[in-house]
Amino acid sequence: MHLKDQITEDMKTAMRAKDAPRLLTIRGLLAALKQKEVDERVTLDDAAVVAIIDKLIKQRRDSIAQFSAGGRADLVDKETAELKVLEGYLPQRLSAEEVAAEVAKIVAEVNAKGPGDMGKVMGAVKTRLAGKADMSIVSAAVKQALTK
């Protein structure tokens, strides 16, 4: 079953269970997926769906930080609940050690010499690790690999 189909089934389940917060989050996710399909006139594959989920998760994390700074515990709780629902659709993430090993392989493959080659390495890393790792961890691993 494709990830998008699973999300649709989970929406139906949330409707039947009258789980309003989960339903709202899933509907927002499906709306983002549909918007991408309409804008680009494509059918999304699982990798594109994961990329959109990653984007929504990043938005939730930014919101949580802002609401925490503003003292809005009610909104922090709401965003945290949405974050947990969205994270449930992500594939198993690579650990920091696994990311570092993949980055080291890619650095060797593209023959990167120093920090000036970061763009070249990040381009290759993004295609290989998209959806499999948190890009902030990946970026830190690339910086560390290129400064050795």
> Which tens digit of pLDDT belongs to each residue from 61-77?
999 999 999 999 999 99
Separation in Å, CA 136 to CA 85, 94, 100, 118, 140: 21, 12, 12, 14, 6
**How do the domains of the chain map onto residue ranges?**
3-87, 96-146
Q: pTM for the complete prediction?
A: 0.77
Which CATH architecture does the domain made up of 96-146 adopt?
Orthogonal Bundle (1.10)
Q: Which residue has the tokens 């392989």?
A: 105
CATH class of the domain comprising 3-87: mainly alpha
Residue 147: phi and psi, rounded to 5, are -95, 0
* pLDDT tens digits, 92-142: 888 888 888 888 888 888 887 777 778 888 888 888 877 778 778 888 888
- Spatial CA neighbour of 137 closest among 26, 38, 54: 54
DSSP 90: S
Residue type, 1: M
Query: 102, 94 in Cβ contact below 8 A?
Result: yes
- Taking phi first (over 0 means left), then psi (-120 to 50 degrees means alpha), and beta for anything else, what does residue 71 get? left
